[in-house]
């Protein structure tokens, strides 16, 4: 099963979004980096273990400073668990991060991309209409 991506925006400031994502372990358990460019960018890498399926998945969340603040959540294909089965999808994982973030901040989904892969990265920008 291919990956899944969500493009969202919020009126919350960059620092507020970064603080909220730092508190979401599934979004930030492996790596957090704030790049002091202009605009500022933050990259979060998280991992979630799915005990029932006996597998795990990773997620990358990118935050871009602006008005509004842009949030991109990308979850690649999740490895199959025991006996080659998994009831967990990349979409489930991406939405679990977004739901938890939405409990902390007002977030609006702009776009959702099923079967996401690197060749579709252009679709995950604010200016694309795909």
pLDDT of residue 130: 47
Contact between residue 73 and residue 85 where contact means Cβ atoms under 8 Å apart: no
* Strand order from edge to edge, sheet including 3-10: 31-35, 41-50, 55-64, 69-75, 3-10, 108-116
pLDDT in tens, 36-95: 999 999 999 999 876 666 667 889 999 999 999 999 999 987 666 555 555 668 888 899
pTM of the model: 0.88
Listing DSSP states for 52-96 in one string gives TTTEEEEEEEEEE-SSSEEEEEEE-PPPP-GGG--S--HHHHHHH
> Closest by alpha carbon to 89, among 43, 57, 54, 49?
57
Go through the domains of the chain in sequence order and give each one's CATH number.
3-117 (3.30.160.110)
């Amino acid at each position: 099963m291919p990956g899944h991506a969500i493009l969202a925006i919020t009126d919350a400031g960059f620092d507020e979004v970064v603080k909220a994502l730092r508190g979401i372990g599934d979004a930030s358990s492996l790596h957090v980096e704030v790049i002091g460019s202009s605009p500022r960018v933050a990259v979060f890498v998280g991992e979630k273990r799915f005990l029932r399926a006996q597998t795990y998945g990773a997620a990358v969340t990118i935050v871009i400073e602006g008005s509004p603040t842009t949030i991109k959540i990308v979850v690649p294909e999740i490895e199959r668990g025991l006996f080659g089965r998994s009831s967990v999808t990349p979409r489930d994982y991406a939405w679990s991060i977004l739901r938890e973030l939405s409990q902390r901040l007002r977030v609006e989904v702009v776009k959702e991309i099923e079967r996401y892969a690197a060749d579709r990265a252009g679709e995950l920008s604010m200016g694309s209409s795909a």
